[in-house]
Amino acid sequence: MKKPALLIASLFCILSAFAQQGAKVSYFDLQDVRLLNSPFKHAEELDKKYLLELNADRLLAPFVREAGLPKKADSYTNWENTGLDGHIGGHYLSALSLMHASTGDAAIKERLDYMVGELKRCQDANGNGYIGGVPGGKTIWDEIAAGNIQASGFGLNNRWVPLYNIHKTYAGLRDAYLVAGNRTAKEMLVKMTDWAIKLVSALSEDQIQDMLRSEHGGLNETFADVAAITGDEKYLKLARQFSHQSILNPLLNHEDKLTGMHANTQIPKVLGFKRIADIEGNESWSEAARFFWETVVEHRSICIGGNSVHEHFHPANDFSGMITSNEGPETCNTYNMLRLSKMLYQTSLDKKYMDYYERALYNHILSSQNPNGGGLVYFTQMRPGHYRVYSQPHTSMWCCVGSGIENHAKYGEMIYAHTGSELYVNLFIPSMLNWRDKDVEVVQENSFPDKASTLLTINPKKATAFTLKLRYPSWIKGGKFSVRVNNKEYSAALDATGYLSINRTWKKGDRVSVEMPMEIFAEQMPDKSNYYSIFYGPIALAAKSGSEDLQGLFADDSRGGHVAHGRQLALKDMPIIVSEPDKIASRISPVEGKPLTFTLSNLYSEKYPKTMELIPFFRLHESRYIIYWPQATANEVQKLQEKIAKDEKERMALDAITIDKVVCGEQQPESDHFVQMEKSNAGFFEDIHWREAKGWFSYRMKNPDKRAKSLYLKYFDRDKSRSFDILVNDVPVSSMMLNGGEAAPQYTIIEIPESELNKQSLAVKIMAKDNSTTGKMVEVRLLNLNKNL
């Protein structure tokens, strides 16, 4: 183990010469931190099993195919053979690298080396430095290099986000080198980055920015990493070229323009802004990243640390979509927000980044893995009474599987940090640290959060002086942060960064025990609506609410398998906390003999008990649940129920007769319905998305039981002289003429021709008439109905 550790240390010395200007603290390598028994260790073990369950040759199949080599296995299905071919392979490289660093597991190392070797064969066969599984990639890259750029939010030259796709390969190679020490991966990474330089060498700045309208992950970050690895300025220039100005410029001006934007398209771009800023000492770009973080975390995130509804940023003053939707915060978003938090903490030492990191780690990331089998979650619904869906290794190839297999392989990254003479304890996760620079071992043992305490044992090789800095969590509300050193009470004031410092010469066996009393408290939805979540310290609590109709609980390989499509229970039937807001905590009592278990009383519902049990959300799985609770006083309950019922009556009636639905202009619903288009663009008003075309666009709608009778079209009628046709399976079914004047969305229902009723797949096309444009279409649905609502 010593030689790999020395190799990793030397790699980071190389980086330090060109990398992190303004860093106030350093992180330990994952090789230096080993998890001890805890929920995190269990999650790590499950993730390792999941990684080894995946078939490397099936993940490599898209790369092999595009390189023209004989295949060893068929590609996986799901997203891996419907346009995003190869993206999981890149994530897999990163996950294997992180897992090997975190555990030293030999089987993981063998798998990583095999993946790198096979990808090198593909790179060598391609002959130009490129590695990728993008279908027909050679053709579209030639088109782009020649200036033929056809970009949209989720498409580029009629391919599904190919830049986003290859970013995963870049990031995987980077991690294979920097995290796992694979030098072949470094050579491959540099060659592939040289290919990217050539790709855009003949393009103008405007052409590159046009191309960047298509989702491209964090390519600017990985190119900046290559600059840091090589010390070559040309790669930093490339990173700047791949920085999307339409996102950066508002952030530089401290403007929040995020409403309606696809959330996880933007977050990786900001990681790149911050990485570039840290390399070149660019304070304005660093400030832009800080402003973005504050905007998202402090104004657009909910109790578990996640953000977005239907993958998009909703209005900062209206979180109602969180309550009504079955597509809540996306795990990928939080994965990237934690990466941004790590960057910002390193250059600021501001404890607020650690407070957020801890909250999101326990309540979103840890909760996104099923502890019974390791399945991973895409959407974590906040809708009361709904549930989550879990991936399976051989069926589910979603983006949140890619980030998910990384999430549970790197829990050691932020537990500790250090300067030359200070050791920071940031998280209370049982673990063993090897501080090589000081020849000091630190063992942290606890059963946190079941017990609000931790014990640190300091074992220097010889007596060593340094300052131990203990994070004082924000959730200690009025309680006493009690510290004892070798069983003697230690008294010290908090420093300016919010840490308690113990400065002494440490001897082997010195013990530091910390008591961190936690309290129950209620936290209101950020838009100040009357929905509340309940916390015990940093832990979000939730209640199981039933196990009926958990449709698709374990996902198949269908293109909508990541969404919990089971019946949405009426919000009016959900239990209401009957209390004044400031008295909610008094309605909660601990259950004797059951750690971190409570009862919530004084509930009102005709269908649920008046008292329900609360447990940590990260322990609640394979069930419907409630994490956000409506609140009302005794005098307000009936009025609140009536309002909830009225608000959702029309929506639930429409959902009840909907067979299939696509939201126009939103990336994933359109991709899942195999959108095709010509001369089309998308946009949004506030958070309502739309698509229009001077040519046409189409969706492949699912009609598995052949029950569809009509087509529902929702649209904006804001523009004059819009004339277009609607076709089903190329059969004309209606023509529409819009003349403007209506601000709110309208709808129409069109009967499906009898000739098409018995087909399981219906291609719905919206086509502009000559010299006109289609309406701005908002939704397309298939209905089991042949008349107006």
- The three-class DSSP label of residue 669 is helix
When pLDDT is averaged across residues 7-12 and rounded to a whole number, the result is 47
Position 12 pLDDT exceeds 60: no
pLDDT digits (tens, 9 = 90+) for 292-328: 999 999 999 999 999 999 999 999 999 999 999 999 9
What pLDDT is stored for residue 265 in this prediction? 97
Assess contact for 691 and 754: CB atoms under 8 A. Answer: no
* CA 244 from centroid of its chain's CA atoms: 20
Confidence label for 789 from pLDDT (cuts 50, 70 and 90):
low
Lookup result for tokens 């750029």: 149
Lookup result for tokens 């999650």: 43
pLDDT digits (tens, 9 = 90+) for 329-356: 999 999 999 999 999 999 999 999 999 9
Confidence label for 788 from pLDDT (cuts 50, 70 and 90):
low
pLDDT digits (tens, 9 = 90+) for 35-48: 999 999 999 999 99
The neighbouring-strand residues paired with 512 are 456, 485
The mean-pLDDT minimum among 89-93, 157-161, 359-363 falls in 157-161
pLDDT digits (tens, 9 = 90+) for 460-474: 999 999 999 999 999
Query: What is the C-alpha separation between 562 and 397, in angstroms, rounded?
Result: 9
Locate 544 and state its tokens: 């199981």
pLDDT digits (tens, 9 = 90+) for 100-131: 999 999 999 999 999 999 999 999 999 999 99
The mean-pLDDT minimum among 6-10, 447-451, 492-496 falls in 6-10
- The residue among 642 and 399 whose pLDDT is bigger is 399
Locate 579 and state its tokens: 């209390």
What pLDDT is stored for residue 477 in this prediction? 76
What pLDDT is stored for residue 786 in this prediction? 61
Query: What is the C-alpha separation between 605 and 410, in angstroms, rounded?
Result: 42
Query: What is the C-alpha separation between 726 and 734, in angstroms, rounded?
Result: 5
Query: What is the C-alpha separation between 328 and 119, in angstroms, rounded?
Result: 36
**Residue 222, exposed/middle/buried by CB under 10 A (0-12, 13-18, 19+)?**
buried
Lookup result for tokens 């028994």: 37
Query: How large is the C-alpha radius of gyration of the chain?
Result: 27
What pLDDT is stored for residue 667 in this prediction? 87
**Residue 246, exposed/middle/buried by CB under 10 A (0-12, 13-18, 19+)?**
exposed
What pLDDT is stored for residue 785 in this prediction? 82
pLDDT digits (tens, 9 = 90+) for 128-180: 999 999 999 999 999 999 999 999 888 999 999 999 999 999 999 999 999 99
Query: What is the C-alpha separation between 638 and 578, in angstroms, rounded?
Result: 11
The neighbouring-strand residues paired with 735 are 725
What pLDDT is stored for residue 132 in this prediction? 98
Locate 463 and state its tokens: 């007596």
Query: What is the C-alpha separation between 617 and 601, in angstroms, rounded?
Result: 18
When pLDDT is averaged across residues 667-675 and rounded to a whole number, the result is 91
Query: What is the C-alpha separation between 59 and 75, in angstroms, rounded?
Result: 6
When pLDDT is averaged across residues 708-729 and rounded to a whole number, the result is 95
Query: What is the C-alpha separation between 684 and 661, in angstroms, rounded?
Result: 18
Position 425: which residue type? Answer: V
What pLDDT is stored for residue 650 in this prediction? 85
Query: What is the C-alpha separation between 699 and 766, in angstroms, rounded?
Result: 9
The alpha helices in 385-494, defined as continuous H runs, are 399-407
Confidence label for 787 from pLDDT (cuts 50, 70 and 90):
low
pLDDT digits (tens, 9 = 90+) for 695-715: 999 999 999 999 999 999 999
Query: What is the C-alpha separation between 399 and 351, in angstroms, rounded?
Result: 30
Cis link prior to 449 (omega < 30° from 0)? yes
